[in-house]
Amino acid sequence: MPATIIPGVAVPLSLVGTFAVMVFLDFSINNLTLMALTIATGFVVDDAIVVIENISRYIEKGEKPLAAALKGAGRSASPSSPSPSR
């Protein structure tokens, strides 16, 4: 349950912030911007899942939670990218 709180808070906050910037910069909300927001939301959720799984793996190895969080977040600073890395 606590692992779902991070994306559950991050996604709405990022969407509200994005819409605020779009209104401030006078962008229209059309199909292209909505598709871009959908893709960006997918990246945010995917990255959060990867980081949480990494932290859980360190905790299962016996690390203390704070050390596991620092290592897990540090090891997956950029867990996914839009282009293949190989």
Using one digit for the tens of pLDDT, what is the confidence trace for 23-75?
999 988 899 888 988 998 888 888 888 888 888 999 999 999 999 988 888 87
Residue 17 included in any domain: no
Residue 52 included in any domain: yes
End-to-end CA distance of the chain: 34
What pLDDT does residue 82 have?
52
> What 8-state DSSP symbol labels residue 61?
T
Residue 38 included in any domain: no
Full domain range(s) for residue 55: 47-75
Q: What is the domain count for the chain?
A: 1
Residue 53 included in any domain: yes
**What pTM value is reported for the model?**
0.66
Residue 14 included in any domain: no
Residue 56 included in any domain: yes
Residue 69 included in any domain: yes
Residue 84 included in any domain: no
